[in-house]
Chain A
Amino acid sequence: MSPIMSPTVTIPHEHYLNVSYGVKSWLFTTDHKRIALLYLTTITLLFFVGGAAAVLMRLELLTPPGDLVQSETYNKLFTIHGVIMIFFFLIPSIPAVLGNFLIPLMIGARDLAFPRLNLASWYLFTLGSICTIVVVVMGGVDTGWTFYTPYSSTYTNSFVVPTIVGIFVAGFSSILTGLNFIVTIHTMRAPGLTWFRLPLFVWAHYATSVIIILGTPVIAITLSLVALERLIGVGIFDPALGGDPILFQHLFWFYSHPAVYIMVLPAMGVVSELITAFARKRIFGYDFMAFSLIAIAVISFFVWAHHMFVSGMSVYASLIFSFLSMVVAIPSAVKVFNWTATLYKGSISYESPMLYGLGFIGLFTIGGLTGIFLASLGLDIHVTDTYFVIAHFHYIMVGGSVIGYLGGMHYWFPKITGRMYPEGWAKFSALLIFAGFNLTFFPQFLLGYLGMPRRYHFYPEEFQVLNVMSSAGASILGLGYVVPLIYLIWAMRYGAPAGPNPWGATGLEWQTSSPPPTHNFEVTPVVTQEAYAYAESTEDIKGGS
């Protein structure tokens, strides 16, 4: 199917982007759509800072000896890459940009429940980002993004406390976003929009918000305790007093494992929208899709110690956490099967968002299956702290979250800007990213299985071929990220007008004009049918305001 575009579509006379102009109209806005764009700008900048660190690491690993950077610098590079990409890009990416923009539109509301809190959360996020960037400029931090004690609390001389302040402040911002989403979804749905008529994107953000609300405060207090220990010289993780550094790991992973699902659940929500829109079918097993999101959110809180199988835990605890980690794979597998079943006998078309959607399913499956390897006690001990782990979580975080984010950005770009992007370039860069990603990270599975440990800037000669492949892939992947940056910025101004519903998709967000007016809908919509009513005639779907 090609986009349903009549030659008469134009940009509406007044919309949220042109109601007012000037820096103040953006910095003091309470419009969720404008705040989403503020977030978009901030996280895009941070993505390229975090990416630059990765480029330097891959350059260093091109050759076996440590010849480009010293080990200290390398430690700082992987730390800053991890801290920025996780806390300042992946966690806010889909929720704070797409979720912020779309949730009120998808539920037929005028805004989120607490618009000023929403703006405050962006300011907090920006403050935290500045903190972290200042740390990079001052000389960096070298603990790894995991801040394991007692190295982080006692031994390192790098800037741990300012980094923790940055993460703490940014954590507040994600708590406020999660709180806003939960309250909005509960109290502000349009008439007739029952829970089981909600798009799965909204369910995914609900589940994500629950994890944010329950997990983030724990990392906030845990990292604060590390900062306190550095400041006053004694702390509750201090072995000299009888404190236990492993307690830190438990508290850290209590947040940081569920955080993986903060990153991937929203992407699952995006993919459910993409697959249904471009297969032109209702989702297979809606109830199971909704409940599996909630199941993942709940189970994710009971698997944290699979990061600690070699840290010194009782074997029985390890067995239980190993079992629970495999249990969390079940709802994830339900989702993959249901997306696949949705494709079955669908009228599939391959626009660029769909390429990202299909890419997500494949890459997430590889990431998920290797996750089961890592949940198995015996195998995990063999590959702990090797590139196998690096490859596994990049398949989830890049192959899953980033691909989902990019797919969503393309799919909703016409709604956000009112214009289409160049489809040819979009397809080209989607393929570039898919190829570059696999070339970067698949060799790392092999490297890890052969025993190459993570976090070293030199390695034995026999690993060079695979490392060269990985670095070559990284350069393709990097190009794949730059190309969309250029054509999307170009299309904001020069793209062809998109019209309210260029994909012929269902969902309330496609019923209002593109870009939407400040209060989203001229009249509050009344919902009379399920979320993915594609099976009915396409004539119904083309309609809209």
Chain B
Amino acid sequence: MHMRSRRRISKVEADGALAEQFDDLAQQHEAASLGMWVFLVTEILFFGGLFAGYTVYRASYPEAFGEASHHLDRLLGSMNTAVLISSSLTMALAVHSAQEGRRRALIVCLLITMALGAVFLGIKGTEYAHKFTERLVPGLDFGYDGPYPGQVELFMLFYFIMTGLHALHLVVGLGLLGVLAVLAWCGHFSAAYYAPLETGGLYWHFIDIVWIFLFPLLYLIGTHS
């Protein structure tokens, strides 16, 4: 069997960014990116269990689910959709700035993205607070006296679990962006090395996409009923 000496590691690659198990930055970038994609597949299946359950019950109780969706605040929901889509734009701009080596623009875009994420959580919190005053919280305080009380409680359960899990992911995303912003501040990234921003961005867009599905399924299904 022939042997070949290990690929020579260039000086630029050796200054901390390249982990020892990789031959070069390109291989490391590919691994990081694929790793995040595989993780997102896992996440899709994680939410998928909930979407499957939602689908089963909505097919069983279409009227009750339509009725229940009237109790969600469509205006706040729409605002949040706009906020989150805008944050995806600024995230994409952050990665773009990193690719062009513009550190200042990168940091500004990351901070705007984080601010939009925080606004989303604020609006979500307001909605949750309203549900407590309207006594629409399953298990803890449920005082709904309209038609289909059981199935409406089921719907509200899906609402809290799905949006709650989504919000939890957003909190993790904020932490991730915070770390990236600090690293960017310290000049850790360059036009040659920006893989962590790209993988962080993938995660952020995933959070956005989950919301794009949650919003119509929870807020809009009652529109025509």
Smallest CB separation, B21 vs chain A (Å): 4
Contact A244/B56 with A191-B4, A217-B46, A222-B49 known, Cβ cut-off 8 Å: yes
Residue of A nearest to B155 (CB): A241
Among residues 57 to 77 in chain B, which have CB atoms less than 8 Å away from a CB atom of chain A? Answer: 57, 60-61, 64
Q: Say which size band chain B's interface belongs to.
A: 35 or more
Complex interface bits, B91-126 against A, C-beta within 8 A gives 1, otherwise 0:
000000000000000000000000000000000000
Complex interface bits, A190-222 against B, C-beta within 8 A gives 1, otherwise 0:
010000000000000000000001111110111
B53–A523 touching, CB < 8 Å: no
Residues of A whose CB lies within 8 Å of any CB of B are: 109-115, 175, 178-180, 182-184, 186-188, 191, 213-218, 220-222, 225, 228, 232-236, 240-244, 247, 251, 254, 511, 519, 523-528, 543-545
Residue of A nearest to B35 (CB): A183
Among the 9-residue stretches B78-86, B128-136, B146-154, the one with 4 or more Cβ atoms under 8 Å from chain A is B146-154
Among the 9-residue stretches B26-34, B183-191, B204-212, the one with 4 or more Cβ atoms under 8 Å from chain A is B26-34
Contact A243/B140 with A186-B34, A213-B38, A221-B50 known, Cβ cut-off 8 Å: no
Chain A residues, CB < 8 A from B140:
232
Further contacts, 19 of them, CB under 8 A, given A187-B30, A241-B151: A110-B20, A179-B35, A184-B31, A188-B22, A213-B42, A215-B45, A217-B48, A217-B49, A222-B49, A234-B157, A235-B157, A242-B57, A243-B154, A251-B49, A523-B6, A524-B5, A525-B4, A543-B1, A545-B3
Chain B residues, CB < 8 A from A240:
150
Residue of B nearest to A519 (CB): B20
A241–B153 touching, CB < 8 Å: yes
Among residues 6 to 48 in chain B, which have CB atoms less than 8 Å away from a CB atom of chain A? Answer: 6-7, 19-23, 27, 30-31, 34-35, 38-39, 41-43, 45-48
The 9 closest A-B pairs by CB, nearest first: A232-B139, A217-B46, A221-B49, A111-B21, A241-B150, A217-B45, A113-B31, A234-B139, A187-B31
Chain A residues, CB < 8 A from B19:
115
19 A-B pairs with C-beta separation under 8 A: A112-B21, A114-B31, A115-B21, A183-B34, A186-B30, A186-B31, A188-B21, A188-B22, A217-B46, A218-B46, A241-B154, A242-B57, A242-B150, A242-B151, A244-B56, A247-B56, A525-B1, A526-B4, A528-B1
B5–A523 touching, CB < 8 Å: yes
Chain B residues, CB < 8 A from A182:
34, 38
CA distance in complex: A236, B2 (Å): 60
CA distance in complex: A233, B52 (Å): 22
Chain B residues, CB < 8 A from A111:
20-21
Chain A residues, CB < 8 A from B179:
none
Smallest CB separation, B172 vs chain A (Å): 13
Smallest CB separation, A254 vs chain B (Å): 8
Residue of A nearest to B137 (CB): A232
Chain B residues, CB < 8 A from A187:
27, 30-31, 34
Chain A residues, CB < 8 A from B23:
524
Q: Is B158 an interface residue (CB 8 A)?
A: yes
Most A CB within 10 A of own CB, among B5, B21, B43, B150: B21
B139–A218 touching, CB < 8 Å: no
